[in-house]
Structure 1
Amino acid sequence: MTTPRDNPASRRVRANGDGTVYQRKDSRWEAAGYVLAPGNTRKRVRVYGTTRKDAMTKLTEKIATSNRGIPAPSAQGSLAAYLTYWLQNVAVHHLRENTHTRYATCVNRYLIPGLGKKKLTKLTAKDIRTWLNQLRTTCQCCTHGIDARRDQPLCCAAGQCCHKLLSPLTLAYIHSVLKSALEHAVREEEIPRNVARNVRTGTPRPRRFEPLTADEARQFLVVTRGHRLHALFELALHTGLRKGELVGLGWEDLDLDAGTAAIRRTLQRTSTGGLTTLPTKTRASERRIALPTRCIQSLKLHHEQQEREREAAGTTWQHDAHVFTTVQGRPIDPTNLTRTFTTLLRKAGLRRIRFHDLRHSTATLLLEQGIELVVIKELLGHAHIGVTATVYAHVRLRLQRDAIDSLGRALDHP
């Protein structure tokens, strides 16, 4: 009788460096081979699969990664070593630069000092929970030596702790970064399971935002009417475009005759590339939207104004085909746009809000006008309608209350 081990396919001769593959007594297939390890050394790794092809596919991926010069992490090493490997060789290829910078800050400021000495394979859910609870109650002002660097001691050094604690949102973010790193360790079969998933940090309250009311929005637009970027602020309030989408908009993206705009890119400042044009935030963010008649007229006037600025600038004009530019034709830095926005709010006598709250204002005002949630979702470019429903739940609750009150009045007074 022929057994799986006697099958000629399992005894096939492989080329040198391709590794070995065989079937175990428990019927699983095991493949083993040598890959690059930290310190420019080689180590033997083993992978498993339900079929011979499955095991060989996993081993081939590891050998291909090794041939690109990326060392395999050592499960015997510390969590700090794995997090460093993950940031430098994995996350950097899947995240935007600014997101990767935030991940690196989170790892270096919190994860490595708190859990870095733990062995990757020895890390438990209890370790993570205990550390998060300690982080939740520890004054960060003193933990990171901020107090010690002051000219005059304050906080704990003076016996009066300021209790500068991390917010629930920050704690949830730190936890999510750790989960992402350990999830990749599971995929690479360095650890059997992601223990961070067994830790519950609670659902933090969403960040509160202060959208403009209809009266405040009208007051703001009146003040911006004389500003050279009036068309930008009007477009922001009427369409809910993100700040990066607004400053990244090109004339080729606009069809003023048809009254549409194609949202394809965003403009961001990165630490290495400066002002950089990137794809939209998500695939759902790449969309085509309808432009209000008022915005079409403002954009036409803005184009005429831009032509006059081009003539005035002469040879110093930096042509890049953006809709909204500086007076020299350069792209607008998002940070400078925020400063201009804050100045206009002060001039209008309005409370200070974030630029992103203009986007919330658009959605809130549309909801209050009875516009369907799915239409708002498409306009804002949310990936799922659940995102729209969750963010603006407070508005829907108020509309429900108004509807119930209207029904009550109708029943009381037929």
Structure 2
Amino acid sequence: MERTYGAFTVLTQEQQDAFVEQAKNTYMGCSYIFDLCTGLRLGELLAVKWEDIDFKENQLHVVRTLRKVKDPDNAEERWHLEFGTPKTEASRRTVPLNQTAIKLLHDVRKDQLRNKLKAGSAYEDNGLVFATQLGRPLDPTNMRRTFYNICEKIGLSGLHPHCLRHTFATRGAENDIDVRVMQRFLGHATIQETADTYTHVLTDLKRNEILKLDKAVSY
């Protein structure tokens, strides 16, 4: 069973492994795996461009976000996708990339080159890392729908894509990443926001650890 901390849910390690394997069978499932490696918000994830990736230093610069907006002056318009800047200074950040993320990016680039050749002049090169097969921005609504489908196939329900970000933070707590470092990874404006996550996780970890001492003292 997935674990719930406060108002959010995270995947256990076993569920995360199952999610990753299922995501590999889905177009752009790599974006969810990348999210588990970086803890990006969905809008940040879909706005990543190749120019934001520093392969020399193995890091990602978060400098923009993608969102669905509606023109208030156009009653006939439904919604459109729009790039914007992160809302807070803390959200503009540099996130180090582990080897899993780097390997994934190289695979994405290979697939993208194949899509460009196949689409020819129909391909719209927006410089996006995660894009449609024609190079266009991915619709956040479609990404959520695909996420739900992946979860359903591995027997999970009631989850939101944001749980991947919380799962990233939880894995960090489980592996002793300092809360102040995680704050910078996540782009939280205050350390309290990050600490709330860590407090819940560490309480759970301590509860499990004390069980190892059950037989240390006989009574």
Q: TM range, normalised to the smaller chain?
A: 0.7 to 0.9
**Residues 1:306 and 1:374: Cα distance change in structure 2 (over 3 Å):** same
Match of 1:295 in 2: 101
Q: How many residues align?
A: 207
Is the contact made by 1:346 and 1:352 (CA closer than 8 Å) also made in structure 2?
no
CA deviation map 1:182-231 (0-9, x unaligned): xxxxxxxxxxxxxxxxxxxxxxxx96222110000000001112333132
Is the contact made by 2:37 and 2:100 (CA closer than 8 Å) also made in structure 1?
no
RMSD: 2.2
Whether 1:234 aligns to 2:33 is: yes
| Paired letter, 2:179 | L
From 278, 282, 285, give the equivalent of 2:88.
282
CA deviation map 1:90-137 (0-9, x unaligned): xxxxxxxxxxxxxxxxxxxxxxxxxxxxxxxxxxxxxxxxxxxxxxxx
Match of 2:160 in 1: 354
From 312, 320, 323, give the equivalent of 2:129.
323
Is the contact made by 2:66 and 2:82 (CA closer than 8 Å) also made in structure 1?
yes
Structure 2 runs not aligned, ≥5 long:
72-78
Runs of 4+ residues deviating >6 angstroms: 406-411
CA deviation map 1:223-269 (0-9, x unaligned): 11233313211111111111000000000000123211101110001
Is the contact made by 2:148 and 2:157 (CA closer than 8 Å) also made in structure 1?
no
Whether 1:307 aligns to 2:113 is: yes
Report the TM-score, using the length of structure 1 for normalisation: 0.47
2:205 counterpart SS class: helix
Cα distance in 2, alignment partners of residues 221 and 330 from structure 1: 24
Shift in Å at residue 409 of structure 1? 6.2
Report the TM-score, using the length of structure 2 for normalisation: 0.86
From 332, 337, 342, give the equivalent of 2:138.
332
Cα distance in 2, alignment partners of residues 253 and 305 from structure 1: 19
Match of 2:50 in 1: 251
CA deviation map 1:256-289 (0-9, x unaligned): 2321110111000111272111111311011111
Match of 1:187 in 2: none
Give the number of the structure with larger relative contact order, counting CA–CA contacts within 8 Å between residues 6 or more apart. Answer: 2
Match of 2:62 in 1: 263
**Residues 1:410 and 1:257: Cα distance change in structure 2 (over 3 Å):** farther
Cα distance in 2, alignment partners of residues 352 and 408 from structure 1: 35
1:262 counterpart SS class: strand
| Paired letter, 2:84 | L
Calculate percent identity across the aligned residue pairs: 33
Shift in Å at residue 297 of structure 1? 0.8
1:320 counterpart SS class: coil
1:210 counterpart SS class: strand
Match of 1:365 in 2: 171
